Amino acid sequence: MTRDVRELDGAWRRFQSHAYPSPSADLAEYVARYWAVSWDYEEPYRQLIVPYPNVHLTFRDGVARVQGVVPGHQIKVLHGRGQVFGVAFRPGRFRPFLRVPVSSITGRTIDARQIFPGDPPDPPDVPAVEDFLRAHRPAPDPQSDRAAHAVDRIIADPAITRVATLAHHLGTNVRTLQRLFADHVGIGPKWVIRRYRLHEVTERLATGTPIDWPALATDLGYADQAHFTRDFKSMFGESPTHYAERY
């Protein structure tokens, strides 16, 4: 994949602006963060978007959409002027809004009115969007609590590299955990574990510390470096060594 040179060394900041407001306390149970992006490009820009296990609600040009978890990286082409306001839901917390398994929208984008009836806030800003979410606030769901806790455990514990280890920590079994993640997260626990462990790889690369790639692959629970490289490329659009050379 050819990466846009304008993304290197922070050059994109001349063409884009980003903001990440935090949710109010009463919505923090459901919302990980809000995000607002605006851009102005004379020439089309290929924006790399790396995946996380979040469902997003976006508002753009008076239209609201819901995007399920995307298993791999995406390229969005930005051209001209535009802006988007988004809600990133905490992994495991969108199922009460959706009322059907979150895996049913994995890799899909749907009209938000299928889930949130009525007109979306226009213009969308934090106060208006929060009022919109409060109007559709779902009833408590203990299974949603379990799923969110499982993801939080993955994030907090770098030693978790296998689903069996996570299941042991949570006092359950692998099959039950897989069903919970399909229903409430939208993607399997193995994917979520590897996503957050690969995030730690990019943090190591950012320090400039030399990396022993075969040893790192083993530390992350991979059978060999080839499997590690395949997963990294799926997430980030290029091999880890190429990523390291560019950054």
Please tell me whether residues 146 and 83 are part of one structural domain. no
* Same domain flag for 23 and 59: yes
Supply the range of the domain harboring residue 167: 142-246
Query: Running along the chain, 247 residues long, what does each successive block of 10 average in pLDDT?
Result: 60 82 98 96 87 97 96 91 96 98 98 95 95 96 98 96 97 98 98 93 82 89 91 90 75
Query: Tell me, what's the pLDDT at 207?
Result: 81
Distance (Å) of CA 5 to CA 9, 37, 106, 187, 244: 9, 20, 30, 32, 15
b/e code 222-234 from CB counts within 10 Å (16+ = b): beeeeebbebbbe
Q: Write down the pLDDT at residue 28.
A: 98
Q: Which of 135, 162, 196 is the last residue of a domain?
A: 135
**In a shared domain, residues 17 and 96:** yes
pLDDT (0 to 100) of residue 159: 93
Same domain, 26 and 100: yes
| pLDDT at residue 4 in the model | 66
If asked whether residues 125 and 162 sit together in one domain, one would say no
Please check whether residues 49 and 92 belong to one and the same domain: yes
Place of tokens 């659009």: 237
pLDDT in the model for residue 7: 65
Q: What is the structure's pLDDT at 148? A: 98
Residues 69 and 119 in one domain: yes
Query: What's the CA gap between 235 and 74, in Å, rounded?
Result: 9
- Which domain CATH number covers 154? 1.10.10.60
CB pairs under 8 A, 24+ apart, for 200-205? 200/158, 201/232, 201/240, 202/236, 202/243, 205/240, 205/243, 205/244, 205/247
- What is the model's pLDDT at position 47? 85
Q: Please check whether residues 149 and 239 belong to one and the same domain.
A: yes
Residues 123 and 181 both lie in one domain = no
- Distance between first and last Cα of the chain: 16
How much is the pLDDT for 11? 59
What pLDDT shows up at residue 6? Answer: 64
Per-residue pLDDT at 141: 97
Tokens linked to 66: 């819901």
Instruction: Quote the pLDDT of residue 62.
Output: 92
DSSP-assigned letters across all residues of 134-147: HHTPPPP-HHHHHH
